[in-house]
Chain A
Amino acid sequence: KQEVTQIPAALSVPEGENLVLNCSFTDSAIYNLQWFRQDPGKGLTSLLLIQSSQREQTSGRLNASLDKSSGRSTLYIAASQPGDSATYLCAVSTTGDYKLSFGAGTTVTVRA
């Protein structure tokens, strides 16, 4: 069974600092890895999708890397803003079934 771990569980930084969020998974036979953002009481917003054949994806201030062999992904958010405050979830899809296994999330607070 795929186990997904996110470290740290919570993070508080001053505005402008870069954020580094870590995700690890136990089974390297993944189809893809997806990073989501969840605001309190809301659904999930897809941020980045990395296919198993890719090593990184970028969108604006966000960059996500994937190292399948070590079972790790890292989400970088450059020049953080108070609007980046949310819970960030990492989710892994195992080859073929498209079902997602989620980590517990990292709750980010960016202080103005």
Chain B
Amino acid sequence: SAVISQKPSRDICQRGTSLTIQCQVDSQVTMMFWYRQQPGQSLTLIATANQGSEATYESGFVIDKFPISRPNLTFSTLTVSNMSPEDSSIYLCSVWGVKSAGVSSYEQYFGPGTRLTVT
């Protein structure tokens, strides 16, 4: 398995500002993803974070609103830009292909999430 940490764990932000969420994994991983969970809803994939290149966004999500970085195999950031109350959600980082002892796991693991409230 993998230990995934996210910072911050929660934040309350004002409309129009931006917040950057960090995701750190204790092992090298093949894939990193960012999901959003709006209140009372299930998870929706925002984008795949690609190492050293631009992220791949799902329909309905754009780079200007959700810029993503992935500088190496264990770290990624998601920025929520120009926030509005509709961005209030839990944002979760997930990983696939955890490498341990030369073997990759097929399970996908999730971080604890960042609870964002926009006022």
Contacts and interface: CB of A to CB of B under 8 A. Distances in A.
A30 interface: no
Which of A36, A44, A89 has the most CB atoms of chain B within a 10 A radius of its CB? A44
A99 B48 contact: yes
Contacts of A102: 42-44
A96 B92 CA distance: 22
A51 interface: yes
B113 A89 contact: no
A30 to B, nearest CB: 12
A32 B43 contact: no
A61 interface: no
Nearest to B45: A99
Interface residues of A, number: 22
Nearest to A4: B42
A86 interface: no
A99 B63 CA distance: 18
Interface string A27-52: 00000101010000111111001010
Interface in A11-68: 32, 34, 36, 41-46, 49, 51
Given A41-B115, A44-B92, A89 B43 contact: yes
Interface in A79-112: 89, 91, 93, 98-105
Nearest to B59: A1
A98 B31 contact: yes
Contact of A103 (B42, B45, B94, B110): B42
A43 B111 contact: yes
A45 B109 CA distance: 7
Given A99-B33, A104-B42, A105-B42, A46 B108 contact: yes
A60 to B, nearest CB: 16
A32 B106 CA distance: 9
Given A89-B43, A99-B48, A34 B115 contact: no
Interface of A: 32, 34, 36, 41-46, 49, 51, 89, 91, 93, 98-105
9 contacts: A34-B107, A36-B110, A42-B113, A43-B113, A46-B1, A46-B110, A51-B106, A98-B96, A98-B108
